[in-house]
Structure 1
């Protein structure tokens, strides 16, 4: 089993801010041969965990809006920027999922725009070697050129759903593999390949 760091979302309950991860990640990552190391939304704590655990890769998980979309800087935004720099400096692969893909795009200067028909639904994605149905839970996406990334698949409306830069060890998808029921073998293979596990 490989240790992989995964970012957590922020939520406020009765005025207290909590860091959380969707439980479905446990089973999914276990099937990928991965033990998750949950990163808190605190740069100092996340840095200490990364140094101590030395994970073999990083997942930028989904959920919530990035600063570049919401205009509200959160601790999570700071941690995600730090984690991407750490992964680059240590030659570790990065997998961005939904929000994680938006963060990787934003760090390249690519603007995510409002998109319709992608919230709490399913749709097909298409690419040179891809034609499948995926879940969709996002209100923003990118179309056309996506910086240094190669587009692997798009939705019928041109929204980029899967991109990668193999030289930089970066892969990103807009769907949530952890939410698929039953869990998709294609997603397991994709994640294992993206994280080199």
Structure 2
């Protein structure tokens, strides 16, 4: 089963080319984590209409990388925003499981009218606190944080500064995680990730 993954957009300075890139850690995650043993990642190109991919996908992940265009107005950020907004609308309409990672979580949160702002001390490992008050150490690589959720979303985990680390849609199979599951310390607690993966099985 394929899980589509959006890619980072970069400008290669030497050749002045725009490129799509997916970190090697994603391949490692799908190869070596038992959680993803039934899935194959499919990198999504921004030059191919998402509707062409959709029939082959069981789920979609909006990956990290690039700031939202509301924070950094650039061609690359805007291009990602437009493409990922179409994915969110598709998943919302079809109830296709959707997971946002870091930037992807911010994109989903923004789509659902949440509030985001720049925060410090969110680069490096830090504590994440689940709703049941259990906590764990996770990686963190973002300069912008979600501080309030829109009415369609609910909190699943917070950081010690009360910013939102994980959330889900109240009715749809849409989740967001501010940590990177594909990087070191990204699977220290998989409770929420397993909830999302279960929606794929239930959505067959």
TM-score, normalised by the number of residues in structure 1:
0.88
Q: Structure 1 residue 77 and structure 2 residue 81: aligned?
A: yes
Distance in 2 between residues matched to 1:128 and 1:106, nearest whole Å:
22
Query: Would you say the 8 A contact 1:101–1:172 is kept in 2?
Result: yes
Deviations 1:81-106 (A, max 9, x none): 11111212222011000000110111
Q: Which SS does the other structure have where 2:189 is aligned?
A: helix
Deviation at 1:149, TM superposition (A): 1.3
1:146-157 matches, within 5 Å, as: 146-157=150-161
Q: How many residues align?
A: 190
1:28-107 matches, within 5 Å, as: 28-30=29-31, 31=33, 32-33=36-37, 34-42=39-47, 44=49, 46-51=50-55, 53=56, 55-72=57-74, 73-107=77-111
Indicate the RMSD between aligned Cα atoms, in angstroms. Answer: 1.9
Structure 1 portions without partners, runs of 5+: none
Deviation at 1:143, TM superposition (A): 1.6
Q: Structure 1 residue 171 and structure 2 residue 175: aligned?
A: yes
Distance in 1 between residues matched to 2:151 and 2:189, nearest whole Å:
26
Distance in 2 between residues matched to 1:41 and 1:115, nearest whole Å:
29
Distance in 1 between residues matched to 2:24 and 2:115, nearest whole Å:
30
Query: Would you say the 8 A contact 1:43–1:82 is kept in 2?
Result: no
Query: Would you say the 8 A contact 1:94–1:169 is kept in 2?
Result: yes
Deviation at 1:127, TM superposition (A): 2.4
- Report what 1:142 is aligned to: 146
Q: Which SS does the other structure have where 1:38 is aligned?
A: strand
Deviation at 1:162, TM superposition (A): 0.6
**Higher relative contact order by CA 8 Å / sep ≥ 6: 1 or 2?**
1
Query: Would you say the 8 A contact 1:42–1:75 is kept in 2?
Result: no
Q: Which SS does the other structure have where 1:57 is aligned?
A: strand
- Report what 1:3 is aligned to: 2
Q: Which SS does the other structure have where 1:168 is aligned?
A: coil
Q: Which SS does the other structure have where 2:26 is aligned?
A: helix
Q: Which moved more, 1:60-69 or 1:95-104?
A: 60-69
Q: Which moved more, 1:133-142 or 1:86-95?
A: 86-95
Distance in 2 between residues matched to 1:176 and 1:141, nearest whole Å:
14
Deviation at 1:185, TM superposition (A): 6.1
> Do the aligned partners of residues 175 and 62 (structure 1) sit closer, same or farther apart at CA in structure 2, a change above 3 Å counting?
same
Deviation at 1:192, TM superposition (A): 4.0
